[in-house]
Amino acid sequence: MRDLNVTLIQSDLHWQSPGANLAMFEEKIWQINSGPDLIILPEMFNTGFSMDTAALAEPMNSTSFRWMKQMAEQTKAVITGSMIIKEGKKCFNRLIWMRPDGSYQSYDKRHLFRMAHEHYHFDQGAEKLIVQLHGWSLCPMICYDLRFLVWSRNQTMEDSLEYDLLIYIANWPAPRVNARDTLLKARANENLSYCIGLNRVGKDGNHIDYLGHSAVIGPKGEVLCDLGENESIQTIKLSQNKLQEYRAKFPAHKDSDTFTID
């Protein structure tokens, strides 16, 4: 299997302004020098973490969705990030996994952040998403999902594991950033997987501060890349061979418990 080049874009966001955010991220994407396989944007990358679904929710195949499709086609990379999507009377914090050929998959956030009343404004997702990219299996999730280890569990499929890379896109506030740093390492270690956490920086319209700390964690829980607390664009190469070698030497997944999630 080939190595995977992943670009993380840690950025401030324009509050509730899709047009400004799309223009900003387009400019940042064209600053990427290496040819990434995957470009990761934050949670609600086009609006910030807003509960104003009435004003900001977009149907599928609207402006932000079409922008992702255009960017993926032009960069020849998968682009992922979440936005507020409406379907009938329901609204979802929906992650879009957009491929260069225009095909896509989506994941609706399972764990809604009740401390910000997200559960009053959004509908809960029901299914995990596992996607394929250049021989890799990836599991993308959203922010608060990070706290729920059962939902994130890398289940054993016969003699292999469900995914190779776990991704959390986020708007994770500054007061709890140390918990996030710890949980990212734990999710990587317990799941014998690479783990990426992509967070935003800056202050949103609710005067909430974000410190970034976007990071790439190896399967032993080691920090491979840390974007710090400022805006940053970084590309990292992940080795499938090193991952498989570690799993072969430390096959803890063969002793894992089986379970189902209701």
Beta bridge partners of 182: none
C-beta separation of 200 from 171 below 8 A:
yes
Specify the amino acid at residue 58: E
109 is catalytic: yes
143 is catalytic: yes
Catalytic residue among 58, 91, 128, 143: 143
> Could you tell me the CA-to-CA distances from 22 to 45, 106, 192 in Å, in that order?
8, 19, 35
195 is catalytic: no
Catalytic residue among 43, 58, 118, 190: 43
Catalytic residue among 69, 109, 128, 185: 109
Hey, which residues are catalytic here? 43, 109, 143
